[in-house]
Amino acid sequence: MAILLSLLFAYLLGSIPTAVWVGKWFYDVDVRNAGSGNAGATNTIRVLGVKAGIPVIIIDVLKGYIAVISVTFIVRISGGDTVSPYLEMGAGAMAVIGHTLPVFAGFRGGKGVATLLGVGLGLFPYAAWVAVAIFVIVLIFSKYVSLSSMSAGILFPFVVYFVFPPPNWAFYVLAVAVAVFIPYTHRKNIKRLFNGTESKVNFSNWKKHK
């Protein structure tokens, strides 16, 4: 029962389509029909501005984090006394699946980067913060959010393996899965990067959207 409840809760939590609801409720805009068409924080900022994008990224990160840490609570109320790291990882994966394929938004979601960060903060807190630093550094120099996300994701398993080794081998598998998943969800961005048509972040224009 604890396994079922944890996975179901994580999926439904991940399925909260933050970008879609913020756009529709406050701006009468479906961000999936504008900009890059992605239901994530980056496209929300691109289409609606920073004020709309900040709560989107915060909530999307929290979805992954809460999905992981809630496992302990669900196991306890279900009468269990041992929290399996495999169940925590499974819950994190279900939250990301929910974000990318949200039942509350016609299964048209985002790419899962922010929610993956939340999962990382719940499972690999130190390595996750290093990944954030990599993201920021690449973003500052390249101004490509997609390239920054992929760089952080690809380097993540190396950070986990060489710098902050986890207690369980399965965490390594999950870290490698992250390095595969993020580039996979950015397939179109990769093509645009090679074609020179990928959009850059224009920090000087952010003030106009505040």
What tokens does 80 get?
């269990």
Q: Residue 61 pLDDT more than 90?
A: yes
Give me 18's structure tokens.
Answer: 């933050």
**Number of neighbouring beta carbons within 10 Å of residue 172:** 14
Quick one: which of 78, 76, 96, 88 has its CA closest to 125? Answer: 88
User: Quick count: other Cβ atoms within 10 Å of Cβ 59?
Assistant: 19
pLDDT, one tens digit per residue, over 13-43 is 999 999 999 999 999 999 999 988 889 998 9
- At 208 the pLDDT is 45
At 80 the pLDDT is 81
Q: What's the pLDDT at 35?
A: 87
Among residues of the chain, what percentage have pLDDT more than 90?
83
CA–CA separation, 138 vs 99, rounded Å?
A: 24
Greater model confidence, 113 or 207: 113
Sequence letter at residue 144: Y
Residues 143-159 have pLDDT tens digits of 999 999 999 999 999 99
Tell me the per-residue pLDDT of 163-188, one tens digit each, with 9 for 90 and over. Answer: 999 888 899 999 999 999 999 999 99
- What band does 116 get if pLDDT is binned at 50, 70 and 90? very high
Contacts of residue 187, defined as CB under 8 A and 6 or more positions apart, other chains included, come to none
Per-residue confidence (pLDDT) for residue 207, from 0 to 100: 46
pLDDT tens per residue across span 69-99: 999 999 999 888 888 999 999 999 999 999 9
